[in-house]
Amino acid sequence: MFEIRIHSRGGQGGVTAARLLAMAALHDGKYATACPFYGAERRGAPIVSFVRIDDKPIKVYSQIRQPDMVVVLDTSVMDTVDVLHGLKKGGRIFINSAGKREFTGFECRNVDLTGIALRENLVVSGSPILNTPVLGALASMGIITAESGKKAIREMFSDERNVKAADAAYKEMSA
């Protein structure tokens, strides 16, 4: 089983990103679950979401304490939350960042999802929406296929800018 923990802020699309990622994995013929964890948070508060992907049925629906991968959609969350807590040895990290960040002992990839969302005008209430571009980045890392990511996006959103943002993130990650 491959377990992913997504750190974001309310309103950025982290919960929706988890749902989209699980949908894409299902399209790839896998089993998947998505589970958000938040209380009465408001826009801007730290949010955690969890995704499990496996080749066989998943019987666990809970928080993930020892993920194989951590996704950070907003680096400011790292100021208050230990996003690497419990990450398995040799685990993978994806960070939405224009700069390069690295962590010893982990494979770390970075791409500027915020910049991509702003270029595609994917903004709600002044906040860039990161849920669809992150699918392109994760497809580039081999978590899902690009085709399944696009299919999941199109099932949830009719605006093709979402697919363009995912394509842009895929290409930037592959460059």
Q: How far apart are CA 6 and CA 137, in angstroms?
A: 13
Tokens of 149: 């990511």
pLDDT in tens, 132-167: 999 999 999 999 999 999 999 999 999 999 999 999
Tokens of 36: 């958000």
109 DSSP assignment: E
For 142, the domain range is: 2-174
- Percent of the chain past pLDDT 70, that is, above it, reads 97
Residue 132 belongs to a domain with what CATH number?
Answer: 3.40.920.10
Tokens of 119: 């270029």
pLDDT in tens, 106-119: 999 999 999 999 99
Number of domains the chain contains:
1
